[in-house]
Structure 1
Amino acid sequence: MNRKPGDWNIGISFSLANPIDFNKMAESGIRCMELTWQPLDIFDPEVKRRCDEAVDAARGLGIEVWSLHIPFGTDWDPSSLDAATLEQVIAKVRRLFGYAADWGIRTLVFHPSWEPVPAEERAQRLQTAKQTLGLLSQEAAANGLRLAAECLPRTCLGHSASEMEFLTAGNPALGVCCDVNHLFKETPQRFIERLGDRIVTTHISDNDGTDEKHWMPGKGNLQWHDILRAFAEAGYQGPMVHEVRNPDPLDIAANWHEIINANSNL
C-alpha cells in the first residue's frame, strides 16, 4: 500500500564521536535515530558505556533508537578474501548482535565491502559478501534482528541495483539500506523501484551528481519529487534517517518539512 511522504518519521544519524544534543533532537520533532560510534572502538568498555547512556537518554525523551550502524573498513569487510580477517569480521558482528539485542535495536546497517575493490577481484568479492551477509542475516533473524546491506558508491560492492539484487537474492532475511546519496549507476528513484520492499531503512542526504557529499536534502543534484514518489509507491514503512554533515536537528526537521510541503501532491 502506498504511503504519503508526510507519514514517514524524520530520523537522524547519531555518532558518539560527534554527539548531538538529545533535548534539541526531541524539540525538533525527530523521533528516531541511528546509533553509530565510528571511529571509536565499541569494544572499549568506556565507549560501550557511553553508548548505553546514549540509548537510555534518547529513549527517555521518546526518541526511538531505530538502527545501529555496524563499523566499516578493512577490519569490518564482509567481502574480505583473507580467511582470518573474514572470521574476525563475522565474530565481531555476532558480538554486536548481542549489543543490539540488549539495547532493543532491531535493525543493523552493514556495508557490503570496503574499497577499493579491484576489478579482477569483484566477482569473487561479491560472492564472498553474499555468503557472509547471508550467514549473518539469517543469524540476526533468528535473534529477532534485521540486517540491512547498504548500497555504496564508487568501486564498493553494492554500487548498483543489479549488485544489490545479487547480494540479496534468495535470502529474504537480508534487507537493504537505501542511501540515496550513494547511487550513481542509476538514479535513486530507479534503484528504489527495483529493490522495492527489500528496503527496510534509509540514509537521506544529497550529492553533486558525481560523488557522495552528505549535503542537506534539496541542496544538491537529487530529484526529491521522484525519490519520494518511488518510496511511496514501494510502500516504504520506515523512517527517513538523515545522514548529513554537521547535523543540526532543528535545521534537518525544518528542511525536511519544506521538501514534504513542496511535494504535497504525492
Structure 2
Amino acid sequence: MSKPVLGAALSIKSIPAHRDWLLERQRDLEIQDFFRADLLDGDWRSAASEIKQMLSGHTGRLGIHGPFWGFKIDSHDPMIRQAVTKRLLQGLDAAEFLGATQMVIHSPFTTWDHNNLDLYPDNRGNLVERVKATLAEVIARAETIGCEVVIENIEDRDPRDRVRLAKALESAKVRVSLDTGHANYAHISTGAPPVDYYVETAGDMLTHVHLQDTDGFADRHWAPGEGNIPWVAVFRAIGRLTSNPRLILELRNHDEVRTGAAHLAALGLAE
C-alpha cells in the first residue's frame, strides 16, 4: 500500500533550500507569504512572480495561507466584516496569480465559545449568518477561480464546530483544515479530544493538514518527533480518508522540514 507523500509550508526565503526536495516527488506546497497585510497592500505581484520562477517545473498541488492577523471571520461589526472580506479577496487574488488551488483561513471558534455559545438558542445560527455575510463574496470568487477555501482549527475545542460551519456554507469549494499542533494544544490544555479524533470527525471534509508537533501547552510548530503527538494514530485516521488531504509540514524553523519528514518516514507513515 502506498504511503502519503509529505509537502511543506514555505516562504519566498525558504523555498530555494527545499526546491529539489519538492520537485523530487512533486510534493504539495503551501506558500506562507500572502497572509501579510503589508505585502498584500504592497507589490505582492513582484513577490509572486519571483516565487513562480522559483517553482519552475513544480507540478505538485499549490496553496497559500490566507490572511488572518487581526480579525475573525464572524465579526459582529459590519464595517469589520467588510475589511475581512477585502483582505480575503486580496489573498485569492494572489492565489489566482500563482495558480494556487487552496487557501487556508482560520476558524472563528474560541475556547470561550465552547462554554458560552449555547447560552442563548440563536447564538450558533447567528454565528453562521455572520460568517456567511463575511465570506459570501469570497466563496463566489473562490468558486470562479477554482480555489478551495479550507477552515483551520485554532482554539476549537469541539472538532465538530467548524465541520458543521463548513457544511453550512454550502459550497463544494469550502472544506476544513486540521492543524495537528493546535488540536494537541486544545486536547491537553483545554480538554478537547485527541488529535486523531479531529481527523475522524472531519472525515472527507478534511482536505488539508498542517503537520506540526507540540507539547500541548503552546503552539510550538516543532518538527514531528519533538513533541508528544501520537503520529501513528493520526496517520491511521488519515489513511481511512478518501479526500486525499494535502499533508503540509508547517514548522517554525523551515530548516527542519526534512528532519520532520524523515521522522515520519522512519515511523513508516509517509514519504
Relative to the length of structure 1, the TM-score reads 0.81
Aligned-partner Cα distance in 2 for 1:55–1:70: 18
Q: Is residue 133 of structure 2 the alignment partner of residue 103 of structure 1?
A: no
1:203-214 aligned within 5 A: 203-214=210-221
Root mean square deviation of aligned Cα? 2.9
Report if the CA contact (8 A) 2:221-2:251 is conserved.
yes
Instruction: Specify whether residues 55 and 238 from structure 1 end up closer, same or farther in structure 2 by C-alpha distance, changes over 3 A only.
Output: farther
Structure 2 SS opposite 1:258: helix
- Residue of structure 2 in register with 1:255 after alignment: 260
Q: Which residue of 2 aligns with 1:163?
A: 161
1:54 aligns with 2:48: no
Asked if residue 182 in structure 1 is aligned to residue 182 in structure 2, the reply is yes
Instruction: Structure 2: give runs of 5+ residues left out of the alignment.
Output: 118-122, 187-191
Is residue 90 from structure 1 mapped to residue 85 from structure 2 by the alignment?
yes
Equivalent residue letter for 1:179? D
Distance in 2 of aligned mates of 1:21 and 1:111: 24
Q: Does 1:136 align with 2:135?
A: no
Query: Equivalents in 2 of 1:43, 1:217: separation in Å?
Result: 31
Whole-angstrom CA distance in 1 between matches of 2:111 and 2:194: 22
Percent identity of paired positions between Structure 1 and Structure 2: 19
Cα distance between partner residues in 2 of 1:237 and 1:224: 17
Describe the shift of the 1:264–1:73 C-alpha distance in structure 2 as closer, same or farther (beyond 3 A): closer
- Is the contact between residue 23 and residue 61 of structure 1 (CA under 8 Å) also seen in structure 2? no
* Corresponding residue for residue 230 of structure 2: 223
Q: Which whole-Å CA distance do the structure 2 matches of 1:35 and 1:24 have between them?
A: 13
Aligned partner of residue 206 in structure 1, secondary structure: coil
C-alpha offsets along residues 144-198 of structure 1, whole Å, 9 cap, x if unaligned?
A: 1111111112xxxx44312112312342421111111111211111110111101
Counterparts in 2 of 1:261 and 1:216: CA distance versus 1, 3 Å: same
Which of 19, 27, 31 aligns to 1:25? It is 19
1:77 aligns with 2:72: yes
Task: Give the secondary structure class of the aligned counterpart of 2:245.
Answer: coil
Q: Say whether the 8 Å CA contact 1:33–1:63 is kept in structure 2.
A: no
Counterpart residue identity of residue 103, structure 1: L
Do the aligned residues in 1 keep the contact of 2:48 with 2:98 (CA within 8 Å)?
Answer: no
In 1: Cα distance, 2:140 partner to 2:107 partner: 16
1 CA distance for matches of 2:157 and 2:133? 18
Instruction: Point out the more displaced range, 164-173 or 111-120.
Output: 111-120
- Find the counterpart in structure 1 of residue 240 from structure 2: 233
Q: Which amino acid aligns with 2:30?
A: E
Q: State the one-letter code of the partner of 2:138.
A: L
Whether contact under 8 Å (1:137, 1:147) holds in the other structure is yes
CA offsets 1:213-256 (integer angstroms, 9 cap, x no match): 111112111000000000001234133211111111xx423432
Structure 1 position 48, deviation (Å): 3.2
Q: Which 10-residue stretch deviates more, 115-124 or 136-145?
A: 115-124
- Cα shift at 1:143: 2.8
Contact 2:150/2:177 (CA < 8 Å) preserved in 1? yes
Stretches of structure 1 that go unaligned for 5 or more consecutive residues are none
1:12: Cα distance to partner? Answer: 1.4
Q: Distance in 2 between matches of 1:168 and 1:264?
A: 28
The 1:225/1:181 distance shift into structure 2, 3 A limit, reads same
Greater RCO, 1 or 2 (C-alpha within 8 Å, sep 6+): 1
Q: Which residue identity is paired with 2:163?
A: E
Q: 1:70 to 1:111 in 2, by over 3 A?
A: same
Deviations 1:36-74 (A, max 9, x none): 22445233443431122113312x152646111111122
Contact 1:181-1:212 at 8 Å conserved across structures:
yes
Partner of 2:154: 152
Paired position in structure 1 for 2:250: 243
The separation in 2 between residues aligned to 1:50 and 1:114, in whole angstroms, is 32
